[in-house]
Amino acid sequence: MSELIEKMTSFLSERGIPNRFQTLESDGFLPGLEIDNGTLLIDSEKLKWPGDILHEAAHIALNPPSQRAQLSGKLEVSPADEMAALAWSYAAAVALEIDPHIVFHEGGYKNGGAQLVVQFTDVAAGRAPVAPGVPMLQWYRMCSQFPLMNSWLRQIEDPTAA
C-alpha cells in the first residue's frame, strides 16, 4: 500500500469514516472502491486513482447520521450532494496537504478536474465568492469558512428543521 493511500485512510478513520482494505470481486462505480454498510472498501490492486478514496468517503460523510451505516452499493446521490462531495474532497486534500489534482484527476470529472481545482482554490484564497458544493457544506453546518471544516461528518439529520 502506498504512503499516500495510508495517509488518506488514516485521515478518514480519525474522522469517523470507516474503511478497510479487501479484495473486491467486481468493480463498483469506481475501480477498486465500494461502499458496504457505511464502510468504504478499498482494493488497492484494482484502485486506479487514489484520490477517488476521498471522493467516495465524502458521500459517506455527507449522509445523515441515521443513514450512514446502511449505505451500500451504488449510491443515489442528488446533484447538490454530488457537488458537496466535490467540495468536501477538496477540503480533505487541503487538510491532508496533498495536491488537489490527485483527487481531481484527468480520469474523472468529465475532464473538468483542473477547472474544479481552480474554482476551489480561488474560493479558499478569497478571490471568488463561491464554488460548487460549498453552500451545501455550509447548509449542513459542516463548514463556515471553506476549506476549513467544522465537522467532517454531517451531524444534522434535516438542515431545514434546525
* Bond preceding residue 129 cis, omega within 30 of 0: no
Q: How much of the chain, in percent, has pLDDT values that exceed 70?
A: 98
What would the grid cell of residue 81 be? 450532494
Gap between the Cα atoms of 66 and 54, Å rounded: 21
pLDDT at residue number 1: 58
What would the grid cell of residue 67 be? 443513514
Query: What count of other Cβ atoms lies within 10 Å of the Cβ of residue 2?
Result: 10
Condensed to tens digits (0 to 9), the pLDDT of residues 4-30 reads 999 999 999 999 999 999 999 887 778
Condensed to tens digits (0 to 9), the pLDDT of residues 49-103 reads 999 999 999 999 999 999 999 999 999 999 999 999 999 999 999 999 999 999 9
Q: Are strands 33-36 and 39-42 parallel, antiparallel or unpaired?
A: antiparallel
